[in-house]
A and B are shown apart, each in its own frame.
Chain A
C-alpha cells in the first residue's frame, strides 16, 4: 500500500510539473519532423550554452499532424506551444488576425530573400522567421537519361519530361520513369498538382471565387498527371508523399522526381542514396502558358500571441534563423546541409555555390511569383495554396479526391466533378459565393 501511495504521489507531482513551470523558462517548440528540423534539435547545445536560463522542449510531429494541432491550438488560444513551426500559408492569415507576435531580434532581416520575407509578412511586419525556404524542381538520374539516349534540357517542357519518363521506365528492373506526389493533403499532393495546374494555365478560382475544376485546363492537367503516373509512375503512388518518394528515389526506383528543392541535400548524400553521384537538377517544367510548375514555401518559426515567454522565444528564433546557425551546420555537417533558401548572403557564398543544387534552388525560387501565380487573373495570392482560411479544408478534400483518382477508385472526370461540387459548396457555405 505504501509503495502504491508513493507511486501515486510521484505521478501527481510529475503531472503537475507539466502545468506549473519552474523558475527557468522552458520553451515548448512544435516542429515538423523534416530532416533539417531534426538536425536543429541536435545543434541546440550551442544555444543553451549561451542562454543557460532557457530550456528547450521539442514536440516533433508529422507535417499534417503538426498543421492540425497547431491550428487547433492557436485558434482556441490553447497556449500549448511557445514557438510554432508554420508556413507561408498560415503566417499572413494568422498575422492579420493578431494571433502572432510581430518578430523582433531577427539576425539581419534585410538579408532574407525578398520573396520569402514577403510571404511571411502581413502589413509590412514579419510574423515568422524562415528556417528554410524551398521551391520545387526536377531531380533526375543522369545515368538513366544517358542510357535512354536523352539529355535534360535547362528549360524543360511537360512534353519533354513525359517523353523522358516513358523512355526511362523499365519496370522489369524496378525503374519508374517519374515519381510524383499522390498522398492526399493540401501540402502533399495538392502542392504539386496546384503548381502543375498553374503551368497548364489553370487556376483554383476565377475573379468571383467560382471554382474552376470544370474548365479544360484542369482537365488537361489531371488527365496528363494520371496518364504519366499510370504509364511511368511507381506502384502505390496514391500513398506517396515527400518522404515516400524520397525513399524511392534514394533506393534507385525513380528516373525523375519533381519535388521540393529541400530534397537536394538528401539525394546527394552518399550515405543515404544509392545513386548520389548521378543526380542532376533542372527547373520545373512548363506547358507554354508562361508559368512554370514552381512553388514557393518556407517553414518558419513564429510566436503565438498571448505567450508569456515572448522574449525567450524570440531569442531562440533569432538563434535558429541566424547566419551563425548556418555556419555552425556548415562546420559540423558540411555546406550541403545548411538550411537552404532563406538568405541572400548564403547564395553569395562561393563555398555554398559549390553545392550541386544551390544555384538551381535559387533560380527556382526566383521563378515563383506568389502575387501572380497563374496565367489568368485570380482573386488570391499563393502559388500552391490559396491564402484564405478555408483553403486547408478544401485543399485537403480535393487532394483526397485526386488521390482516389490516382488509386483508380474514380475516373478523372468524376474526380473533377466531385472537386467542383465540393469546392462550390464549401465556398458558398463560407460566404465567398453569394
Chain B
C-alpha cells in the first residue's frame, strides 16, 4: 500500500455516503454481540466480587465490601499461582519462538520428504488439550509405567523421575510447548519462504556468513510473524486450563484460571471466585495493553 494509509486511497474511490452508512451498519451486529459478550459478564463479575455469596449457603447473601479481595490476596496460593501463570506463558513463548525459528530454518532447507515431515510436525497442534495432557501424563511421564521411566530404568535408575509431581510446572510447560511449537515453526517457515531468492542470493554474493545473514536479513524479516506468534500464544496460554485440570496439578502448580475455577467449584464461593476473576482480568488487560500496542503498530502498515 506504500506510504498512504489505506483509507485515503479508499475514500477517494468509495467514500460515497451510501458506502459509509452501510459500512457502519455492517459493523454493528458484530460490535454489539462482542460488546455484550465482553461487558455483561465483566459487569456481573464486578458485582459478585463485592457480594458475600456461597452457593451452598444462598440464604446468607449480602454485601461483603472488599473482604473477598482481602481473602483472595491472603490465600497462600494466590502469589504462587500468579507466578506460575507468568512463568508458564513466558517459558512456553520463549521455547516455542526460539525452537520454532530453529526448526523453520531447518525445514527451509531442501531435503527428502519435506511434505511428510511437515505433516508430522504440525500434528501436535491438532491434538485436543485434554488428550495431550492425559497422554503425556500417563503414557509418557508416569513415574512407574511411563516411557521416560522405562528409559531411565533401562539406564539403571531405580527411582525414575516423577515428572508431574516433582516438576509440575515444567512438565505442563513441555506439554504446552509441544502443542504450540508446530504453530510457531510453521508460521515462521512460511515467512522464511517468502523471503525472496534475490535477497538470499545477494547476501551470498556479498560473502555474508550464515550468522550475519541470519542477524541482518532473516531476523528483521521474521519480526512481524514473531509478534503475531507471541500475541496469539499469549491469548491462549494465559488461560491454560485443560492441561492443568486434567493433568491433576491444579493443587500443586495451578495458575490463576485454575484458582478461580477451584474457588467456584470446590469452595462454591461465588464472591471469592469473582474477586479472583477480576484479578485475572486486570492481569490480562495489562498484558493485552502492551501486546495490542505492539501488534497494532505492525498491523497498521
Nearest-CB residue, chain B, relative to A431: B60
What sequence of 0s and 1s flags, for each residue 144-162 of chain B, a beta carbon within 8 Å of any chain A beta carbon? 1100010000000011111
What sequence of 0s and 1s flags, for each residue 12-56 of chain B, a beta carbon within 8 Å of any chain A beta carbon? 000000000000000000000000000000000000000000111
Whether a CB of chain B sits under 8 angstroms from the CB of A115 is: no
Alpha-carbon gap, A393 to B56, bound state (A): 11
Q: How many A-B residue pairs have CB under 8 A?
A: 113
Whether a CB of chain B sits under 8 angstroms from the CB of A174 is: yes
Whether a CB of chain A sits under 8 angstroms from the CB of B252 is: yes
Nearest-CB residue, chain B, relative to A90: B56
A422 x B75 contact (CB < 8 A): yes
Partner of B55, one of A76, A171, A248, A403: A76
B164 x A239 contact (CB < 8 A): yes
Nearest-CB residue, chain A, relative to B60: A431
Partner of B251, one of A234, A389, A404, A429: A404
Partner of B56, one of A71, A172, A400: A71
Which residues of chain A come closer than 8 Å to B265, judged between CB atoms? 68, 72
Stretch at the interface among B89-97, B98-106, B266-274: B266-274
What sequence of 0s and 1s flags, for each residue 245-268 of chain B, a beta carbon within 8 Å of any chain A beta carbon? 000101111000000001111111
B159 x A235 contact (CB < 8 A): yes
Number of interface residues of A (CB under 8 A): 44
A335: shortest Cβ distance to chain B, in Å? 32
A235 x B55 contact (CB < 8 A): no
B140: shortest Cβ distance to chain A, in Å? 13
What sequence of 0s and 1s flags, for each residue 352-394 of chain A, a beta carbon within 8 Å of any chain B beta carbon? 0000000000000000000000000000000000000110111
Whether a CB of chain B sits under 8 angstroms from the CB of A136 is: no
B267 x A408 contact (CB < 8 A): no
Alpha-carbon gap, A422 to B54, bound state (A): 17
B142: shortest Cβ distance to chain A, in Å? 7
Which residues of chain B come closer than 8 Å to A429, judged between CB atoms? 67, 71
Interface residues of B in 117-156 (CB under 8 A from A): 137, 142-145, 149
Partner of A400, one of B54, B67, B161, B250: B250
Partner of A184, one of B67, B159, B252, B268: B252
B111: shortest Cβ distance to chain A, in Å? 40
B165 x A418 contact (CB < 8 A): no
A422 x B251 contact (CB < 8 A): no
What sequence of 0s and 1s flags, for each residue 420-433 of chain A, a beta carbon within 8 Å of any chain B beta carbon? 01100110011000
Nearest-CB residue, chain A, relative to B264: A72
B162 x A235 contact (CB < 8 A): yes
Given contacts A75-B55, A429-B71, contact A236 B268 (CB under 8 A): no
A239 x B165 contact (CB < 8 A): yes
A392 x B267 contact (CB < 8 A): yes
Alpha-carbon gap, A196 to B6, bound state (A): 72
Whether a CB of chain B sits under 8 angstroms from the CB of A304 is: no
Whether a CB of chain A sits under 8 angstroms from the CB of B296 is: no
Partner of A425, one of B58, B71, B164: B71
- Top 3 nearest A-B pairs (CB, nearest first) are A393-B267, A400-B251, A235-B143
Q: Pick 22 A–B contacts, CB within 8 A, sort by A.
A: A71-B56, A75-B55, A171-B159, A235-B143, A236-B142, A236-B143, A236-B144, A238-B252, A239-B165, A239-B248, A251-B145, A389-B56, A390-B54, A393-B268, A394-B267, A400-B77, A407-B252, A408-B165, A409-B252, A409-B253, A422-B75, A426-B267
Query: Which residues of A are at the interface with B, using a C-beta cutoff of 8 A?
Result: 68, 71-72, 75-76, 93, 171-172, 174, 183-184, 186, 234-239, 248, 251, 253, 389-390, 392-394, 396-397, 399-401, 403-404, 406-409, 418, 421-422, 425-426, 429-430
